[in-house]
Structure 1
Amino acid sequence: MQYELRYQVIEAKRQSYQNVIDRFGDQPATRYQEATLDVEPRENFHYRPTWAQDRELYDPRYSALRLTDPYSYADPRGFYYTPYVTNRAALHDEFGKTLTYLEDRELLVTLPEAWRSVLGSVVIPLRHYESGCQLVSVTGARFAHGTSLAQCCTFAAFDRIGNAQMLSRVGIAVAGGVGDTLTTAKQEWLDGAHLQPLRRLVEEIMVVDDWAEGLLAIDHVDSLLFPAMYAGLDEKALLGGAGAYSLVAQYLTTWFADQRRWIDALVSAWRGDPEHGPSNTAHLDRIAATWGPRAEEAVGALTAVVAGRLDGVAA
């Protein structure tokens, strides 16, 4: 007796989940859409928060900035768990290889003294800034309304810890196994006069009630800090015999460009919202007026120290 194997194609009754079909019709959906749209619960909660009994567990009123439909915003990077983890694993793997290269050749240990001073008293202490930013992002992850927003904040929180870890590893490498650079950097963060405006600012942002305002306040600092401390020092590092710093800084510059993509898209969504657009614009302008000058003061204190210590170093 002979048997013949045959393939049978079974046509799917629908091409995605019902919540995606309700929005876009019965058509193929991206993995990002299926992992994001309408995931956050909206009803059938068992209790309200004991510390805010006038609110639901997931409530748009945790921020003055609103979207008529929270899922009208989409992460332009298309990040849900799998692509995010894959992307960041690759980034940190490449950073690890670069750091190993620098350590094997003692390129960080032999940096010019002025650059070692800048790293030890300005750049490495910024790992504490990143830790503060992580807490602000966690607040957004908890209180943002809609999965498309909450997961961006969640990924940003993990990113901030990753940034702090990168700076910590650089600090260890700069010490070359001699001395405790991280302890010194912590003391600078606590006592260094040039770091106190930034430290004070971050601590005040950490206790802002509105999660979105806190996120944007940190973004005002980022928008000045990252170009000044990383991308802005690239050419000076190359000309001043500190190419090792340039190799390290490129990873934080790359991360900041990626961070900008989702925040810029979110601000655009807030401003362009059909129902809340005018109100959002007024709140965004107020946030910029409140935190922008403070960010300039804090970052300006750092850039003044860096400029003073590197004056005359570059050829």
Structure 2
Amino acid sequence: MVEIASKTIEPVRNTFQHLMDRFGDKPATRYQEGTYNIQAMENFHYRPLWDPKHEIYDPDFSAVKLTDPYNYADPRQYYYATYVENRARHHESFGQDLKYIEERNLFARLPQNWQGLVTRLVLPLRHYESGGQLVFINANRLAWGTSISQPCGLASMDRVGNAQSLSMVGLAMGGGAPDKLAEAKQCWQEQPSLQEVRRLVEEALIEEDWVSGVLAYELTDAQLYPLLFQHLDDRALFRGAMAYSLMAQHFSRWHIDNQKWITALLKAWVADPQYGEENRKALGAMVDRWYPQSQEAVRLLAKDIEHNFGSTSIVSAATRYASELATTLEKIGIPLTAPGGVRS
């Protein structure tokens, strides 16, 4: 009888040398192996024809810098495998709820004002998400340090997923026909309450500093998502709009997850030992640029929703979310400009 024995083969090295230099001679996590010290640093054979002032990879694509970009790490520890696994579960859960809604014809049972809300104001935001895809893939291309460019790239793919999810909702509401999506596109182009959001997207797309484009979306997300997918979700639960509530929870959950890496990055920029003060000033100028515009964009949406529902709580909720955002920024170290134009 042949005895089968196992034999343990000890690895010659625990991990790559650059990870040992940073973390010590011990096994590295998959996140560390797929993130740290991967940024291309040399052998740049030409400068980009569209911006010959910079190298093809250059930390000076933004005024906001880190002494060592790898001092920042995505608190979610997302690299390709963990990201795909997480988002696959998210998409599967969304698909199951959408199937439930369709099987029970819940979109048709939405009260008329809720159907109008989804068609006129929520579905058009798939164009907002598509704009976000371009803003964040630009950040992925220009950011310095894989620990920063990686979550930017993943956020870009998230935006594609959000746009597709909204498109799936539109198709489900139209019984598989694209009529609702065509109507939503027309609303995006012509609906007065959406034009400030649309203008913000178009201006963010042409920002030279990639951090400024990211902040334009971050400041808008922080007001728009809680308003549409938390405050209105609470109302939907008690007003016969179950289909909206089932849909909203997925977008709310994504936003909470997405906030984690951006908030951590803002803190890292402000706390940097070498560039912290310069970063705070640069970020402050960007926030002063985008905060009033994002606040006005969300306020116009809130006014439209309030008129549609005959309610008096929507605009006040938008104001509260804007105030909470200002408080969060101040705690991070990026206070808004005080009245009169003087930074506090």
TM over 0.5: yes
- 1:263-292 CA-to-partner distances (Å, cap 9, x unmatched) read 000000001101000000111111111110
Alpha-carbon contact 1:120-1:184 (below 8 Å) kept = yes
Aligned counterparts of 1:6 and 1:188: Cα–Cα separation in 2 = 70
Q: Residue 71 in 1 paired to residue 70 in 2?
A: yes
Aligned counterparts of 1:183 and 1:30: Cα–Cα separation in 2 = 46
Corresponding residue number in structure 1 for 2:112: 113
Corresponding residue number in structure 2 for 1:99: 98
Alpha-carbon contact 1:109-1:173 (below 8 Å) kept = no
2:13 counterpart letter in structure 1: R
Alpha-carbon RMSD across the aligned residues, in angstroms, is: 1.6
Q: Residue 201 in 1 paired to residue 204 in 2?
A: no
- Which is bigger in relative contact order (C-alpha 8 A, separation at least 6)? 1
Corresponding residue number in structure 2 for 1:44: 43
Alpha-carbon contact 2:171-2:178 (below 8 Å) kept = no
Aligned counterparts of 1:192 and 1:7: Cα–Cα separation in 2 = 69
Corresponding residue number in structure 1 for 2:56: 57
C-alpha displacement at 1:206, in angstroms? 0.6
Of 45-54 and 129-138, more deviation after overlay is shown by 45-54
Q: Residue 241 in 1 paired to residue 248 in 2?
A: no
**What aligned pairs does 1:136-175 form with structure 2 within 5 A after superposition?**
136-175=135-174
2:128 counterpart letter in structure 1: Y
**What aligned pairs does 1:302-313 form with structure 2 within 5 A after superposition?**
302-311=301-310
Corresponding residue number in structure 2 for 1:288: 287
Q: Secondary structure at the match of 1:255?
A: helix
Aligned counterparts of 1:212 and 1:93: Cα–Cα separation in 2 = 32
Aligned counterparts of 1:220 and 1:3: Cα–Cα separation in 2 = 68
Q: Secondary structure at the match of 2:55?
A: coil
Q: Secondary structure at the match of 1:195?
A: helix
Aligned counterparts of 2:3 and 2:124: Cα–Cα separation in 1 = 70
- 1:230-272 CA-to-partner distances (Å, cap 9, x unmatched) read 1110111111110110110000000000110000000000011
2:132 counterpart letter in structure 1: C
Aligned counterparts of 2:92 and 2:177: Cα–Cα separation in 1 = 25
Corresponding residue number in structure 1 for 2:16: 17
C-alpha displacement at 1:153, in angstroms? 0.6
1:8 counterpart letter in structure 2: K
Aligned counterparts of 1:82 and 1:281: Cα–Cα separation in 2 = 34
- Normalization by structure 2: what TM-score? 0.88
Aligned counterparts of 1:246 and 1:6: Cα–Cα separation in 2 = 57
Alpha-carbon contact 1:109-1:175 (below 8 Å) kept = no
Alpha-carbon contact 2:306-2:312 (below 8 Å) kept = no
Give ranges in structure 2 of 5+ residues lacking alignment.
314-344
1:274 counterpart letter in structure 2: P
2:11 counterpart letter in structure 1: A
- 1:19-52 CA-to-partner distances (Å, cap 9, x unmatched) read 1011111112111000100112111222221222
Aligned counterparts of 1:216 and 1:201: Cα–Cα separation in 2 = 11
Give ranges in structure 1 of 5+ residues lacking alignment.
none
Q: Secondary structure at the match of 1:194?
A: helix
2:116 counterpart letter in structure 1: S
Q: Secondary structure at the match of 2:192?
A: coil
* Sequence identity (%): 47
Q: 1:217 to 1:173 in 2, by over 3 A?
A: same
Q: 1:100 to 1:313 in 2, by over 3 A?
A: farther
Alpha-carbon contact 1:73-1:149 (below 8 Å) kept = yes
1:41 counterpart letter in structure 2: A
2:298 counterpart letter in structure 1: V
C-alpha displacement at 1:4, in angstroms? 5.4
1:143 counterpart letter in structure 2: L
- 1:124-150 CA-to-partner distances (Å, cap 9, x unmatched) read 000001011111001101000011111
Of 51-60 and 262-271, more deviation after overlay is shown by 51-60
Q: 1:312 to 1:218 in 2, by over 3 A?
A: closer
User: Across the two proteins, how many residue pairs are aligned to each other?
Assistant: 313
